[in-house]
Chain A
Amino acid sequence: MPRENILTSQTARDDFLDGVRQLDQESSGITAANLFTWLQNNGINLSMQGVNQNLSTYDLFVFWHVVAMTIPLATGNMAHAGPIFLPWHRMYLIRLEEQVRRILQKPNFFLPYWDWAADGQLGEVAQRQTQLWTSQYLGESRGQVASGLTSQIQVRLTQVNTLSGSVLVSHAPRNLERNAGSDVRTLPDKTDTAQAMNESIYDQAPWSVNSSGFRNRLEGWINGPQLHNRVHVWVGGDMGPGTSPNDPVFYLNHCNVDRIWEAWMVANGRNYLPVTPMGAQGHRLNDLMLSILDASMRPSDVLDPNPWYTYDSLVV
């Protein structure tokens, strides 16, 4: 079975929502104090404070994303703002998919995607009133998420910004929050995805937020926020800070980003840049990608996703 559109596959929807809910309710055996100690002992410059509490397996994915975002490289960080953005998130999604399979005991589970460019064709108000934002799917698009399975997701880690810098805060569990269509009024649309698909080069120097090419257009820095970035900004609320994987829509967004990358590679070849030894350290074809959950992979390991999954459609 392939990865499917969440709006057309009821099974994929039900399994995804139940799976992430269960991962959020499962104790990982790791506490906030354990993570604080780990950050201190490993010299990672991520400030963390707040209450000590047991964290879930789902929280560890949130933590992993923040850590990757916090460690700077010569350009960008270990998961964003450079060529590594697409392969790192592909690895990250594969690991979440494995965890959902484990907890549901469904070896044939595949993450669904949200074809946000299709919704971007709708009117401004209609975009935040689609089926996706009902209790049968993700719950409310604005305010506190209070309906459906997603209302049972508890946020325990939030990255906030103080005068002196960013802090990862461990706090009393609370519901998810969204603010759809407030900071940007509309989602990306099919014209935007077509522009990305027209890029013939994956990435190029300076391998950053200022590069031309497919990756930077899809990540959303060119005339931004666009595409991936714009979806984060459009949803708002918990999708804003580095702890954005708190909201399950994070995974639906990234699954669609991954699908667009796959469509681009089918059209242009499985070409990745930079190739060792040229290019930015940490972003190259054979550099190890940061993983704190299971083994690290290299971009070269994930260029072809067929060992793990396929997509039901590559029409983007």
Chain B
Amino acid sequence: MEKYDLKELVKPLKRKLPQRAKVHIDAHAKMSHRSFTSVRSSEYMDRDIRVETTYKITIDGKPFGTHVGVLNDGRVYCHALPQYSFPSAIGMIKKIIRTYHDFDMPEDELRKNYQKPKTSKK
């Protein structure tokens, strides 16, 4: 087994990207209003139950942009803390603020040196 180089890192995923990219764009479109809707459903005594829950969260008036969902038991979860679930959305946002507010964000060196690949004209 040899060490990996970048070519090896890129190759397998590239083959799969067109299909994944579509899924991704759809998800992004839903998130554009910064609200997240979860649908829970269940069958009970031959009846179909459907519960739609929409969260629109702001912090200091600014929209919170990370996906929020609801579990069948009513607990909420968020991709910011991927293994957690909380009895209340307020409690969840407090935990997210506590977790990340001390993070010292370094100056960005990655975007400024990035060059978009040239697209070939047909």
User: Which residues from chain A sit less than 8 Å from chain B, CB to CB?
Assistant: 26, 28-30, 32-34, 36-38, 40-45, 48-52, 57, 60, 67, 69, 71-74, 78, 80, 98-99, 101-102, 158, 160-166, 169-172, 183, 206, 209-210, 220-225, 228-230, 232-233, 240-242, 288, 290-296
Closest partner residue, chain A, to B116 (CB atom): A40
- Can you offer 18 A-B residue contacts whose CB atoms are under 8 A? A29-B5, A38-B9, A42-B17, A43-B24, A48-B110, A49-B111, A60-B9, A69-B82, A99-B1, A161-B80, A163-B64, A210-B40, A220-B83, A221-B85, A232-B82, A291-B13, A294-B8, A294-B12
Is the Cβ of B82 less than 8 Å from the Cβ of A71?
A: no
B interface residues with partner A (beta carbon < 8 Å): 1-6, 8-10, 12-14, 16-17, 20-21, 23-24, 27-28, 40-41, 59, 62-66, 69, 71-73, 75, 77, 79-85, 95-96, 99-100, 103-111, 113-114, 116-117
Contact yes or no, A209 B69, CB < 8 A: yes
**Chain A residue at smallest Cβ distance from B85:** A224
B14 engages A162 (CB within 8 Å)? no
- Besides A72-B24, A102-B3, A166-B66, 10 other A-B contacts (C-beta < 8 A): A29-B3, A33-B109, A36-B111, A49-B108, A60-B9, A164-B65, A224-B85, A233-B84, A291-B13, A294-B8
| Chain B nearest Cβ from A182, distance in angstroms | 11
Contact for A171 among B5, B10, B106, CB less than 8 A: B106
Inter-chain contact B62/A163, CB cutoff 8 Å: yes
Q: In the complex, are the beta carbons of B85 and A170 less than 8 A apart?
A: no
Query: For residue A166, which residues in chain B have a CB less than 8 angstroms away from its CB?
Result: 66, 79-80
Are B106 and A233 touching (Cβ within 8 A)? Answer: no
Measured in the bound complex, the distance between the Cα atoms of B11 and A20 in whole Å is 25
Main secondary structure of the interface of B (DSSP, over half): loop
Task: Name the B residues within 8 Å of A44 (CB-CB).
Answer: 24
A190–B109 CA distance with the chains assembled, in angstroms:
48
CA distance A29 to B3 in the complex (A): 9
Contacting pair A72 B84 (CB below 8 A) = no
Instruction: Indicate if the CB atoms of A210 and B20 lie closer than 8 Å.
Output: no
Q: How far is the CB of A47 from chain B (nearest CB, A)?
A: 10
With beta carbons under 8 angstroms apart, the residue of B5, B10, B41, B66 that contacts A161 is B66
What is the bound-complex CA distance between A248 and B78, given in angstroms? Answer: 24
Chain B, Cβ-Cβ closest to A162: B100
Q: Determine the chain B residues whose CB is within 8 A of the CB of A45 once the complex forms.
A: 24, 28
Distance between Cα atoms of A170 and B12 in the complex (Å):
24
Closest beta carbon of chain A to B29's beta carbon, Å: 11
**Contact assessment for A221 and B71 in the assembled complex, using a CB-CB cutoff below 8 Å:** yes
CA of A48 to CA of B65, assembled, Å: 15
**Contact yes or no, B28 A292, CB < 8 A:** no
**List of A residues within 8 angstroms of B59 by Cβ:** 163
Residue of B nearest to A67 (CB): B13
Which residues of chain A are within 8 angstroms of B13 by Cβ–Cβ distance?
Answer: 42, 67, 290-292
* A44→B9 CA distance, assembly (Å): 14
**Closest Cβ neighbor of A226 among chain B residues:** B85
The answer to whether A52 and B110 touch (CB under 8 A), given A73-B23, A169-B105, is yes
In the complex the two chains form, is B106's CB within 8 Å of A290's CB?
no
Please state if B84 and A225 are interface contacts (CB–CB under 8 Å): yes
Q: Known A42-B14, A71-B24, A161-B96; judge A33-B113 contact (CB<8 A).
A: yes
A50 to chain B, nearest CB (A): 5
Contact A233 B72 (CB under 8 A): no
CA distance A98 to B4 in the complex (A): 12
Closest to A224 in B: B85
B83, A32: Cβ atoms closer than 8 Å = no
A292–B5 Cα gap in the complex (Å)?
11
Q: Which B residues are CB-close (under 8 A) to A221?
A: 71, 77, 85
CB contact between A290 and one of B16, B75, B82 (< 8 Å): that residue: B16
Chain B residues lying within 8 Å of A60, measured Cβ to Cβ, are 4, 9
- Shortest Cβ distance from B106 into chain A, in angstroms? 5
Residue of B nearest to A220 (CB): B83
Establish whether residues B83 and A293, one from each chain, have CB atoms under 8 Å apart when the complex forms.
Answer: no
- Interchain nearest-CB distance for A22 vs B (Å): 12
Q: Name the A residues within 8 Å of B69 (CB-CB).
A: 209
